[in-house]
Amino acid sequence: MMNRLTSILASLSLGLAGCGGSGSDAGPPPPPPPVPITNAEAVQLLNQGGFGAVDTDAQQVIALGLEAWIDDQIQKPASLQLPHVQAVPPPPFMFQLQEDRVDIWFRNAIHGDDQLRQRVAFALSEILVVSQLGALFQAPHALADYYDVLSRNAFGNYRSLMDEVTLHPAMGVYLSMLGNEKPNPALNIRPDENYARELMQLFSIGLVELNLDGTVKLDNFGQPIPTYDQAIIEGFAHVYTGWTWAGSPNFEQARGTRQNQVVPMELWPDFHDTEPKQLLNGTVLPAGQTGEQDLAAALDNIFEHQNLAPFISTRLIQRLVTSNPSPGYVRRVATVFNDNGSGVKGDLAAVVKAILLDPEARPELPMEIDGKVKEPLLRLTQLFRAYNATSNSGRYPLVVSYILFGQGPLQSPSVFNFFSPFYAPPGEIRDSGLVAPELGIATEYQNTLFTNYMFGQVFGLNQTNPSLGDDDVYIDFSEEMLIADDADALINMVADKLLGGQISATLRNEIGGMLALIPDTDTAVRAAETIYFVVTSPEYAYQR
Contact 374, 419 (CB under 8 A): no
Residue 328 lies in a domain: yes
Residues 99 and 59 in one domain: no
Q: What does the mean pLDDT of the chain come to?
A: 94
The DSSP element (H or E) to which 244 belongs, if any, is strand 243-244
Residue 193 lies in a domain: yes
pLDDT at 368: 74
pLDDT band at 25 (very low <50, low <70, confident <90, very high): low
Contact 141, 258 (CB under 8 A): yes
Mean pLDDT computed over 486-501 = 97
Residue numbers of the domain that contains 46: 34-64
The DSSP element (H or E) to which 267 belongs, if any, is strand 266-267
pLDDT at 19: 42
Question: Using CB atoms within 10 A of its CB, is residue 201 exposed (0-12), middle (13-18) or buried (19+)?
Answer: middle
Q: How many domains does the chain have?
A: 5
User: Model pTM?
Assistant: 0.93
Residue 18 lies in a domain: no
Residues 314 and 298 in one domain: no
Contact 448, 456 (CB under 8 A): no
Residue 538 lies in a domain: yes
Residue at a domain's end among 262, 282, 303: 303
CA distance 94 to 36: 52
Contact 272, 241 (CB under 8 A): yes
Residues 258 and 130 in one domain: no
Residue 330 lies in a domain: yes
The pLDDT tens digits of the residues spanning 264-322 come to 999 999 999 999 999 999 999 999 999 999 999 999 999 999 999 999 999 999 999 99
pLDDT at 29: 78
Residues 403 and 527 in one domain: yes
Residue 244 lies in a domain: yes
Residues 165 and 215 in one domain: no
Nearest by Cα to 260 from 244, 271, 241: 244
The pLDDT tens digits of the residues spanning 199-222 come to 999 999 999 999 999 999 999 999
Residues 353 and 286 in one domain: no
Residues 227 and 147 in one domain: no
pLDDT at 10: 39
Residue 367 lies in a domain: no
pLDDT band at 2 (very low <50, low <70, confident <90, very high): very low
